[in-house]
Amino acid sequence: KAFHGKGSFTFTLICSFICVYTYIFAVLINKVSLDVTVEGFIGGSVVLPCSSTEHNLKLQEVDVSWRHNGSKNVCDLIPRSNSIETQDTRYKNRTKTFPEGYVRGNFSIKLSGLNHADAGEYICLITPSDEQETVELIINDFFVVEPTTEKGNQTTDQEIQEEIRPDSVKKSWLWILVVTLLIVLSLIFIVIMFRRKISSCLMSGEQGIGSDTHEVVSPGPRY
């Protein structure tokens, strides 16, 4: 019975650890998968990616806004549709949105005429799903003159994918890999400790049985 009680307690403890780690893993995946780094150049342009994981979005119930360094209003996509009344003056005529992508949950924007003041943290806020995507923008000094010709019939998604550098997702995948590795190692450690606990309890039980079988029975009185 003692072994059964200890085993139940250990099993409950392991299940609790697994549940906690699963929750932490889900939260971290949701967070780090949305954190990217994008590089731009003085005078150039860059796409700041933002997408929702929700399906079947109802645009009339969605509110999306972009903020720079926590306070500056870069633009409000929905429901104000990039209204110039709420937009910070420094971003006027410098932001491009992609309304055709809204129904697919794509709320990326394109920021042009880059300068050093544009560097920093950009946050895309999506409500009521409480999604938040953080993009770190790094500005380099190399000057880029962009072509004025249109890209033909290129779709919005293709344009966004070409603008986003491959380096922007490396940081996210690195964090995902680290978190996954830590969780796997933790689970392995828990399993090992659980097995050791079982072995210890079995050995204790065998020793108890052995001591009972080897107990010397004193002989009765002879007549």
Per-residue pLDDT of the chain (223 residues; tens, 9 = 90+): 444 555 565 566 666 666 666 666 555 555 544 468 999 999 999 999 999 888 777 888 888 999 999 888 998 887 655 556 678 889 989 999 998 888 888 999 999 999 999 999 999 999 888 888 999 999 998 654 545 444 444 445 555 554 544 444 455 566 677 778 888 888 888 888 778 777 777 777 666 655 555 554 555 555 5
The CB density around residue 147, as the number of other CB atoms within 10 Å, is 6
- The DSSP bridge pattern shows strands 36-41 and 131-140 to be parallel
Contacts of 14 (CB under 8 A, 6+ apart): 190, 191, 194
Q: Which helix (H) or strand (E) holds 30?
A: helix 2-32
pTM: 0.54
Residue 210, SS3 per DSSP: helix
Task: Tell me how far apart the alpha carbons of residues 75 and 23 are, in angstroms, rounded to a whole number.
Answer: 33
Beta bridge partners of residue 72, listed in sequence order:
68
The whole-angstrom distance between residue 32's C-alpha and the CA centroid of its chain comes to 3
From residue 153, give the alpha-carbon distance in Å to each of 19, 21, 150.
48, 46, 9
Task: Tell me how far apart the alpha carbons of residues 169 and 33 are, in angstroms, rounded to a whole number.
Answer: 8
CATH of domain 37-165: 2.60.40.10
Identify residue 157 by its one-letter amino acid code: D
